[in-house]
Amino acid sequence: MPRDKRYDILFEPVKIGPITTKNRFYQVPHCNGMGHRYPKAMAAMRGMKAAGGWGVVCTEECEIHPSSDISPAIEMRLWDDSDIPTHRLMTDAVHDNGGLAGIQLVHNGANVPNYYSRMPPLAPSDMATTYVHPLQARAMDKQDIRDFRRWHRDAALRAKNAGYDIVYVYAGHNMTLLMHYLLSRYNKRTDEYGGSLENRVRLVREILEDTKEAVGDTCAVAFRFAVDELMGQDGMRWNVEGKEIVEMLSDLPDLWDVNISGWENDSLPSRFGAEGSQEEYIRFVKQATNKPVVGVGRFTSPDTMVSQVKRGVLDLIGAARPSIADPFLPNKIAEGRQDEIRECIGCNICVSGDFTSTPLRCTQNPTMAEEYRKGWHPELIAKRGSDSSVLVVGGGPAGLEATLALSKRGYEVTLAEAYTELGGRVLLESRMPGLAEWKRVADHRTYMIGQAANVETFVDSRLDAEQVLEFGFDHVLLATGASWRADGVGRSIVHPLVETATTKLVSADHILRGGAVTGRVVVFDDEHYYMGSVIAERLRDQGHEVTLVTPSTMAAEWSENTMEQHRIQQRLLQKGVDMICTHSIVKLDEGSVSLACEYTGFQRRIAADTVIPVTMRIPDTSVHQALMAHSDAFADNGILSVSRIADCHAPGTIAMAVYAGHQYARELDTEVPDIPFIREG
């Protein structure tokens, strides 16, 4: 299909200093949990982006010196020449696939604990580290500043030697040494590097000049700068110091990469912000410089991208999360296949890899970080291993993904869904406050399956074991999901709760399906991700008095890994949801519940008419158990295998469900080793 002419502007080359991009698609630096520890996996992932049409593909942050050791997080390192071969893996992969490679050099200053290097952290002035560590950063003297400039220059030269086309100077996200120099709340110096804004910008200017002098003949020098911190007068503001800094340095870098800080604002979850949400803060930059500008906004719509360029907001369309969800996004637009884009849902499950020091994952793209380990390509898949037919029971995220991937392999697939609409848990959860964009998981797969001639889909078709046996499919895949427990059993509660005449137990599924409740509500969250908070928010919006009780010290504790926790708790409090942390439910009383402190065991009672436990889910194994009870009849009915996956096997996240569906499709009719991936290190 030919490209829509409206999108031609996205494929124009852009000159950046001594280099020129082939198009306007720019994968900005982003973490991935592989870095120096799993370099082959990291390189394969970046190379895949270039193969998918991204004109520029950048690293994550790359430490320039051991005094910027961010362990246990896994990033890149360029401490000395011994690190160059790791970088060559990436630059070769990107270049071989037609892209330009960029490196984000960084010194994290007071943002690091240096657990591995055991060096004291550095800062403009004596200060506490910006993350919670039991140590402080020491004030840099003039020799430290000279050393830092040398370290950065040496790293830039190594980057050039490693084959990079773009070298970054990085002052953003409130976690870099250069950003700390810019901010008066951290920089308390009284010499030429402190005090006035001009003085606080001095080191940034020197680093930019050093980098251009060292590598600017062949490499473009980019400056990544957070123009606003959303902190009001206590922080960087785009229309005050942010604007002044851009004007001071205007044409010094070859490229401005602009965003907002901190990282939780820059990678804003869809629950709290829409596509293009940074525009109001960054749009001034192009009017203040003659150099090209790149920025981000979780862009997935080509129409929005074109608008950004035509209205003079950006020259290059920056992306981190959208390039993870669909590495082939540019090629799909180029080939007139924009309807096939796997749009980022903004759930930030990808970000959790950085916080857990593991390879990143993606809800939309199950092949992410499996390009090297398993040889998975996001668009290509091996042809079927037989002429077998497959029945998929369950049209939730796992069943949809399995159906789609099986159809791409060439299998004849029948998908049976018990309800009247495909989507399963995604459909239900996307109706909750802030989660509307999560429906993209179902929408993309439903659309793609609808284009496949080898798939038959039946909704409102709840199957039992007898029917499955009668159909006689070669392979049966059960993706029948799970249901939330209503009795409170989970991590903290071992024995089932018992409701009373006036205080009722209601399952989370009842709320997800639009059911009503009465009176004062207690939501007991022992799952610690998003579900407890969205239920509390929904019921509060409906006018109920709501108390969220959790054994944790905070609401939605695990969502710290997706950078949502602070906003979740803030929103609940602003809406008037009462919150009781470090407590579990002991029992239900008449019109109340008894709670016990996790630390002391001391009990208290609070009023409650309805209790909604969000603790754990029960896999729906009814069809599987009934089938296995008749396994002796499989051969007579032509059944070669019966499998169950995802939530009906081991409940988890939507990302886990999508991955399980994809894995089943990849592995059908293949030999799978005991360790089903290539190990590094």
Where does residue 455 fall: left (phi above 0), alpha (psi -120 to 50 degrees), or beta otherwise?
Answer: beta
Half-sphere exposure of 266 (CA within 13 A, CB side): 27
Residue 36: active-site member:
no
How far apart, in whole angstroms, are the C-alpha atoms of residue 275 and residue 408? 30
Q: How far apart are CA 282 and CA 279, in angstroms?
A: 5
Q: Which amino acid type is present at position 212?
A: K
Which CATH code fits 389-481+630-667? 3.40.50.720
Q: Which one from 266, 443, 526, 620 is the annotated catalytic residue?
A: 266
Which amino acid does the sequence have at 607?
Answer: A
Cβ atoms of 477 and 436 within 8 Å: the answer is no
Question: Which CATH fold would you assign to the domain 5-287+300-346?
Answer: TIM Barrel (3.20.20)
- The list of the chain residues with pLDDT below 50 reads none
Q: What three-state secondary structure class fits 34?
A: coil
Please list, in sequence order, all residues whose beta carbon lies within 8 angstroms of the beta carbon of residue 254, skipping any fewer than 6 positions away: 16, 17, 18, 212, 216, 220, 221, 222, 291, 292
Tokens of 52: 């998918």
- Ranges for all domains in the chain classified under CATH 3.40.50.720: 389-481+630-667
Q: Is 8 a catalytic residue?
A: no
Structure tokens at 136: 């402080």
CATH of domain 485-618: 3.50.50.60
CA distance 388 to 322: 35
Backbone angles phi, psi at 183, to 5 degrees: -95, 125
Active site residue 251: no
The question of whether 164 is a catalytic residue gets the answer no
State the catalytic residue, choosing from 87, 173, 444, 475: 173
All CATH 3.20.20.70 domain ranges of the chain, comma separated, are: 5-287+300-346
pLDDT given for residue 376 in this prediction: 98
Residue 132: what pLDDT?
84
Q: Side chain identity at 167, as an amino acid letter?
A: V
Give the active site residue among 26, 164, 168, 170. Answer: 170
308: left (phi over 0), alpha (psi -120 to 50) or beta: alpha
Q: Which residues make up the CATH 3.50.50.60 domain(s) of the chain?
A: 485-618
Closest C-alpha among 511, 615, 661, 564 to residue 347: 564
User: DSSP label at 540?
Assistant: H
401, 416, 474, 645 from 411: Cα distances, Å: 14, 16, 11, 18
| Residue count (the chain) | 681
Query: What integer pLDDT is reported at residue 131 of this predicted model?
Result: 81
